[in-house]
Chains A and B, each alone.
Chain A
Amino acid sequence: MATMKALVCRECGKEYPTKAIHVCEMCFGPLEVKYSYEEIKKSISRKKIQDGPHSIWRYADLLPVEGPTFLGPHAGMTPLVRAKNLGAYLGLDELYIKNDTVNHPTLSFKDRVVAVAITRARELGFETIACASTGNLANSVAAHAAAAGMRAYVFIPGDLEAAKVLGNLIYKPNVVEVEGNYDDVNRLCSEIAGEHGWAFVNINIRPYYAEGSKTLAFETVEQLGWRTPDQAVIPMASGSLLTKIWKGLHEMKYVGLIDEVKTRINGAQAEGCSPISTAFKAGRDFFKPVKPKTIAKSLAIGNPADGYYALKATAESKGSMDMVTDDEVVEGIKLLAQTEGIFAETAGGVTIGVLQKLVKNGTIKKGDLTVAYITGNGLKTQEAVIDAVGRPVRIQPSLAAFEKTFKMGKNGGGDS
């Protein structure tokens, strides 16, 4: 896959070799991978992709790795679920859920980006991999490092959900709990990355790592029969996922896999941490950092690194952004679970809550082919819903007790 040509500064255009660097020395702008689309176009085809592995690596031509050895061989190709029940409830004819709650191996979309990051880190000769994380990323880095036999350091905020902490420890990386929020962790890690020669997946490996998110766009298009959705609803933390889905859709057009991109991109945040959505609603192209206060901890980035680009992508697509309260997040999680049997983490509740809002205010219309991106698994954020789901019915182990509790007669009743 020698289609990577260089890293290029998004702000001033200066080019760099494809090494472990992420910031332009001249203007501090972010570096991004530059590909030779003309070359890719000659070799890529729908058939080649469909004959490829059942994972993100079927799109290796459009990923920033040299290959042919890929770490994280099972990430991606999660189900695109036709959500008939939720669609009927919301009044949408064609609603799909891109279900990354079942991504391999750690049940979130981060398995995509980490597979790419760790593959590239290995190619660049690193033996230690690290990250700053709101939880899901750390879990994925820890698991991938264990499988790849690499040393790992994961840095997490001090207030994470128990399952996300345990989901690191079990793989035995060095887990560093930082007293502070994600933005504090991130700042610390940016400084550590400058001092130690590690592959920090979301810092010096970020130009490669972030590209893994494009596979959500690629898979959606392939699973829809090589067409783009009319509407996409995407949760935003740093804003990277949203911008990369937008980029991925367009790349498919550049390399001739599809003819047009007609998707409107919609961003979702929780009210307690909505710097990007707030800027969008105010019609600004810049955001003001905030101190996060929301149960949607995986989205709790107050100073979103890609916020500026997320605003730009949404505007280019003529899409929208919105935010929901923590109560609406919980309702969103329950609604998705109870209509489609998919248990999402809090970020999923944010997505469903905002989807509901956008349908209600007419932004998303009945006939729009809509895809909602559900990026993480509810079993990791049980604290968020534990008081909102009721309790089991407790009975003595006798038929009589059961029938009495459910008010059934001797010959059945109840459900029959």
Chain B
Amino acid sequence: MDAILLQVLNGLDKGSAYALIALGLTLIFGTLGVVNFAHGALFMIGAFCAVTLSRLLTLSHEVIDETRTDFLGNPLKVDVPYLYDIFGETAGAAIIDWAVPLSILFAIPVMILIGVVMERGLIKHFYKRPHADQILVTFGLAIVLQEIIKYYYGANPIPTPAPAAFTGSFDFGALIGFEPNTIIYPYWRLVYFAFAALIIGAVFAFLQFTTFGMVVRAGMADRETVGLLGINIDKRFTIMFGLAAAVAGLAGVMYTPINSPNYHMGMDFLVLSFVVVVVGGMGSLPGAVLAGFLLGILESFASMREVIDLIPGINQVIIYLVAIIILLTRPRGLMGRKGVMED
């Protein structure tokens, strides 16, 4: 029992990331009818928003510390972040420590801007082109974006730690009445899951309870009719694209403490997220979320030693296998709607 729960928990963080990216992909696909291969790059850019902010916060100047000496006996030069000068050492250090959560505030405007520019500048011109063209142009864009990041940030992963308060693990099992030390769970993963749940909830609430969301949902169901009603659907779709970009970006920001960001993380997640979207059902938002968590957890189960001993390599391919089986048996995916992307 505890072993099963542990695997479910382990699957949650990846599942959350899949769900968030797949949610954005589905929003874009459902509203704009565009297959966006650059969506993974948005996730990656989000992660690098966190890197950028923590670099900005730690911008330093050199100060000579007379009390200490280096190994040659000269007075030691230490880097002091400008933040220390502004807020004092304690507050400054705390701000730097909280760089990742703070990046959320930084990433939201940046990501929305990137999303809107992308839609207005490029994607807009591809609404009427074949899906193959959409795939290809966004694929090209994804390469460009990741190479730009690689040029400025290098090819190596950049460690971006969580705030000290959330590093380390705790005994989750003991909290809910299992034997102590059976379910040890890192704090940040729980934070990530809660954060993902919050974002997903917010997106759904937004679509469900605002007039804007209503129009978008109607547009997803039948774009032409909504257009006929005289509602300027294009403008709303632009905003939708910005929103989807922000969701992907935030997923990236918060993921940085789990895996140090590198320039190709977007592509790694993208392929799997597409699989998630397909499994969930093209154009179905609940499907995307459900499939995201399901596949994340499934992947975590497949990584259990007992399972790997039984079927070697299953952890590497489980998601693809499930996708292939689902596509062949339920072509519309778990919760796909009729008429969306039928052949």
Q: Do A and B bind each other?
A: no
B interface vs A, CB < 8 Å? none
